[in-house]
Amino acid sequence: MNILIIYMSSHGCTERVATTISAKLQNHIVSMHNLKEQMLPHLALYDAVIIGGSIHAGEIQSKIKSYCKKNEDLLLQKKVGLYLCCMEKGEIAKKQFENAFPEKLRKNAVAKALMGGEFAFEKMNFFEKSIVKKFAHIEDSVSEIKFNVIDEFVEKIESALSK
């Protein structure tokens, strides 16, 4: 099966998750595309599409959000997986996920996940570091990527593709 992973990554966390997902889908042909840098191939070429983004100041990247809205009809014809990288937990993280992706797409998705997140101070500018320190009360780089959730996500994608 041909799988397209579309993601946007500011400091590398979402890309790291996309790369991990791609490596675990080794029985398929996987193409990864950073929406920030690359033009995307036509969706007709793919059996499944995985879309991932991250939260910055409470919102997913606008390019991911607009891509989903613009291509919603085509995406609804595919097996879709949606993931979000964020440092929030519980209800706040769930609300961020709901706000990140259109409702129809979320309901149709074969896999959905909150993958945890990272604060990579070495990749942040002064302003970003200041905001994180002030609002998240974090002083150093921290990674809370949930690799067990990535495994479960990949299992759901694999299961949907085998049907």
Domain coordinates of the chain in residue numbers?
A: 2-161
Tell me the residue ranges of DSSP E strands in 9-156: 29-34, 48-56, 59-60, 79-85, 111-114, 118-119, 142-143
- pLDDT at 109 (0 to 100): 98
* CATH T-level fold of 2-161: Rossmann fold (3.40.50)
Examine the pLDDT at 57 and tell me if it is beyond 80.
no
**Minimal CA–CA distance to 61: which of 21, 13, 2, 27?**
13
**For residue 100, what pLDDT band results from cuts at 50, 70 and 90?**
very high
Tens digit of each residue's pLDDT (9 = 90 or more) over 64-86:
999 999 999 999 999 999 999 99
Strand pairing partners for 2?
Answer: 29
